Structure 1
Amino acid sequence: MRLIIICLLSFLTIPTVLADTKKIDLKVFATDYYNAMVATQAPNATSKELENYLAFLTDDIGHTHLPYVTDDARQPDGKEAMRKGMTFYLGAHTEYNSKLLNVFAFNNSAVAIRYTSNAKGIHPQNKQPLAYSNVMMEVLEIEDGKVAVIRKYHE
């Protein structure tokens, strides 16, 4: 009888232990995400850096970058759309630097990162010089260890 009770209890606790191992450290995840994102902005960025960044995202990623992109609906081709858009600007910067300012974790479902970025470059379409400096906050909604929705805000 004791053996049966022990076996039953172990079946009840094993899923709990396994579920706990799937939890990720959101602060570490956010820092790794930030580093991968920054690498895509470097003057010498290639598709390798882009694919490393995209690996953090779900295939149906939703994305806003207010006021430019306002619809954060998740689309089946969300990652492919981001790949296409980011490839267009890949290598457009002649100078880029960024500093991670804060990481805020919200239970196991969201994390926010706040960072500065300064860039100079040439716009790939109109060939005009570009320069910007801003403070950004990205709120990342996490699902199954990947970013499912990105919301970008300027300070």
Structure 2
Amino acid sequence: MKKIVLLLGLLFLSVNAAAIAGTIDTEQFGHHYFNVWKATQSPQATKSDIQRYLSLLKDDVGHQHLPYDPDATREADGKQRMLEGMLYYLGTHTEYTATLATVVVGYQVVVIKYNTQLAGKHPQTGELMRLSYDTVEVLEIEDGKVAVIRKYSE
């Protein structure tokens, strides 16, 4: 009987330790996410930077960018669609800086706020851009990866 109790106790401890090991430090994740995102916007950004960013996302990631794109529906090809969009804009910035203002965490969510200043040329219109704006991103986390991105900026 003692062996069964001991075995059950060890089993409980190992399952509990595995569950703890499977969780992520959401505040640290928020800082990492921001730095990886920022690298994708740099004038020297590469496809590898984009792949590094996409590795933080679920395959069926939903992406909402208000006020431009109000739909955050998760689709099976969400990550692939983000890749295509990011490759389209890759290299359009001639200047890019972003400063992280805050990281706020909650249950399975990370909220980051940052300021962006950029210059570049729009790939479709050829229009020269010089912008400065604040962004708030709400990252919904699932299984240690971003499942939904809700981005608020102008």
What amino acid sits opposite 2:11 in the alignment? F
Is the partner of 2:74 in helix, strand or coil?
A: coil
How far apart in 2 are the matches of 1:4 and 1:148? 40
Where 2:43 maps in the other structure, the secondary structure is coil
Structure-2 residue corresponding to 1:135 = 134
Q: CA RMSD in A?
A: 1.0
**Range moving further from structure 2, 7-16 or 120-129:** 7-16
Checking the alignment, whether the CA contact within 8 Å between 2:113 and 2:137 is kept in structure 1 is: yes
2:77 and 2:5 map into 1 onto residues whose CA distance is: 49
Shift of 1:16: 1.4
Q: Partner of 1:12 in structure 2?
A: 12
- Which amino acid counterpart does residue 134 of structure 2 have in structure 1? V
Where 1:117 maps in the other structure, the secondary structure is strand
Deviation (angstroms), 1:12: 2.4
Q: Deviations over 1:18-42 (max 9, x none)?
A: 1011111011111111111000110
TM-score in terms of structure 2 length: 0.97
Q: Deviations over 1:44-103 (max 9, x none)?
A: 111011111111000000000001111100000000000001111111000000000000
Q: Is the 8 A contact 2:135 2:153 kept in 1?
A: yes
The aligned residue for residue 109 of structure 2 is 110
Aligned to 1:76: 76
CA distance in 2, matches of 1:154, 1:127: 22
* Amino acid aligned to 1:150: I
What's the CA shift for 1:5? Answer: 1.2
- Unmatched runs of 5 consecutive residues or more in structure 2: none
Indicate whether 1:97 and 2:115 are aligned: no
State the percentage of identical aligned residues.
44
Structure 1 counterpart of 2:15, which letter? P
Q: How far apart in 1 are the matches of 2:91 and 2:31?
A: 22
Between the aligned partners of 2:65 and 2:17, the Cα distance in structure 1 is 38
